[in-house]
Amino acid sequence: MIIEPRMRGFICLTAHPDGAAASVKNQIEYIKSKGTINGAKKVLVIGASTGFGLASRITSAFGSNASTIGVFFEKPPVEGKTASPGWYNSAAFETEAHAAGLYAKSVNGDAFSKEIKQQTIDLIKADLGQVDLVIYSLASPVRQHPETGVLHRSVLKPIGGVYTNKTVDFHTGKVSEISIQPAQDGDIENTVAVMGGEDWAMWIDALKAENLLAEGAQTVAYSYIGPALTEAVYRKGTIGRAKDHLEATAFEITDSLKDIHGKAYVSVNKALVTQASSAIPVIPLYISLLYKIMKAEGVHEGTIEQIQRLYAERLYTGGEVPVDEKGRIRIDDWEMRDDIQQKVAALWEQATTENLAELGDLEGYRDDFYNLFGFGLNGVDYKAEANELVNVESIS
Ligand code: NAI
Ligand code: NA
């Protein structure tokens, strides 16, 4: 069928298989162009189908010739209805990996559940024996707790007081003021339950209990800090509490891996357009201004450039992994540069509906957003019939 973007609010209901394949291929070509990384050879990526997790899987596979198992939660296609973008991304990734002679299989289901952990454990046992790197890159609005059965919902709210600031509807370009009410009873705990470190630790415990982590295995989860502008709603808000918890969990996991000389890291990444971040108020305006400045300064990166740098210049240099005073890897260093932040803050003051197209990189934001769903990629004929029923046997 002919597939076009169909928007509802901030989400796109359709995805293009050929566009997703083109996007995956572009990322693979980028990694190949940067040369070999002396990294892990057997890699589990939890949250492997989009955003930073997909970039991690591609970097491991095509930068280090790694065998990869990906875990994600995506909708397969049905006749007349497209799959979710991460499904097409994963199908394309696996096709490319197999063509390159690389092992790649995936588990599609709720990573928070015991069943999906068990299915993944069985697959590692059967096919890889052990893994030496576990990337944890889930972004989810909900988590059903595997022990209590409680359905936790994460919220993006400030703590203690109302937060009022500018925001943009990136589809229309309209800049307006938004007020977000503070967290209420349970909001902080629920957000920590979904986006904090408990599930990461559960994964590592489950893998270790089955002796599936190799000597010296490492695990990395992704975090965000961001500027003063968004602090009240992000880092000092409910999601920030979850990130605090995630970061604290890294130390607990490292302790639990002492006997195998393993280590857990949190990497603080740059703000980028992903399905997760486009749903957060205020952040899209910040990102559109940030993109403008970082592109002008020649230091803009997407998810694939970020993860390539994480592997090549942080994790696998052959030397000690550089970390900040809180033990975190920082690949948000260019975003957080003083000169960049000062310029973004100055633009923020001026931004209005009338001048944003000029001041900010609204076009770059939109392009990235459509690209997430496989639209707007060079070399794809969007007027042609596409086969929505892509299927790959290695995804179970
Ligand atoms: P994303 O939305 O692109 O990816 C989320 C992944 O999680 C997908 O593979 C999805 O299938 C998977 N997933 C969600 N719920 C699942 C479930 N129940 N079971 C199995 N898989 C599930 O998100 P993005 O942006 O790549 O986020 C990944 C991590 O990076 C998050 O921790 C996020 O906070 C962090 N991060 C994101 C930044 C950004 O600007 N986008 C900046 C810095 C950190
Ligand atoms: Na991800």
The confidence score (pLDDT) of residue 240 equals 98
Q: Which ligand is nearest to the CA of 47?
A: 1
Q: What is the mean pLDDT of residues 28-56?
A: 98
Cβ atoms of residues 46 and 130 within 8 Å: no
162 pLDDT more than 90: yes
195 alpha carbon – ligand 1 mean position (Å): 10
pLDDT at 9 over 90: no
Query: What is the mean pLDDT of the segment spanning 361-370?
Result: 95
**Model pLDDT, residue 330:** 98
- How far is residue 106's CA from residue 71's CA, in Å, rounded to a whole number? 6
pLDDT at 396 over 90: no
Q: Tens of pLDDT along 266-282?
A: 999 999 998 878 888 88
pLDDT at 280: 82
Percent of the chain whose predicted confidence (pLDDT) is above 90: 93
Q: Is residue 241's pLDDT more than 80?
A: yes
Residue identified by tokens 């489950």 is 206
* Confidence label for 69 from pLDDT (cuts 50, 70 and 90): very high
Contact criterion met (CB below 8 Å) for 51 and 86: no
What tokens does 62 get?
A: 């095509």
Strand partners for 144: 151
**pTM of full prediction above 0.90:** yes
- For the segment 368-388, what is each residue's pLDDT rounded down to a tens digit? 999 999 999 999 999 999 999
ipTM > 0.90 (yes/no): yes
Work out the number of other CB atoms within 10 angstroms of the CB of residue 145: 15
Q: Residue 395 pLDDT more than 90?
A: no
What is residue 120's predicted lDDT score, i.e. its pLDDT? 98
For residue 215, the SS3 value is strand
Give per-residue pLDDT as tens, 142-154: 999 999 999 999 9
Q: Is the pLDDT of residue 10 over 80?
A: no
pLDDT band at 86 (very low <50, low <70, confident <90, very high): very high
What are the residues whose beta carbon lies below 5 Å from ligand 2 (ion)? 47, 51-53, 137
For position 248, what pLDDT does the model report?
A: 98
Q: Please name which ligand lies nearest the alpha carbon of 142.
A: 1
Pairing label, strands 151-153, 163-169: unpaired
Which residue has the CA at smallest separation from atom 16 of ligand 1?
Answer: 73
pLDDT(42) > 80 = yes
Average pLDDT over residues 316-332: 97
Residue 11: pLDDT band (50, 70, 90) is confident
Distance in angstroms (rounded) separating the CA atoms of residues 288 and 155: 23
Report yes or no: 112 and 23 within 8 Å, Cβ to Cβ: no
Q: How far is the CA of 138 from the centre of ligand 1 (A)?
A: 4
| Cα 42 from Cα 212, distance rounded (Å) | 11
Closest residue to atom 34 of ligand 1, CA basis: 223
Q: Per-residue pLDDT for 223 more than 90?
A: yes
Q: Considering the chain, what percentage of its residues have pLDDT values greater than 70? A: 100
Residue to substitute in 56, 68, 73 for testing ligand 1 pocket (most ligand atoms within 8 angstroms of CB)? 73
> What residues line ligand 1, using a CB cutoff of 6 Å?
47-53, 71-74, 86, 110-112, 137-140, 222-224, 269, 271-272, 274-277
Burial 182-210 (b: 16+ CB within 10 A, else e): ebeeebbebbbbbbbbbbbbbbbeebbee
Position 281 scores a pLDDT of 82
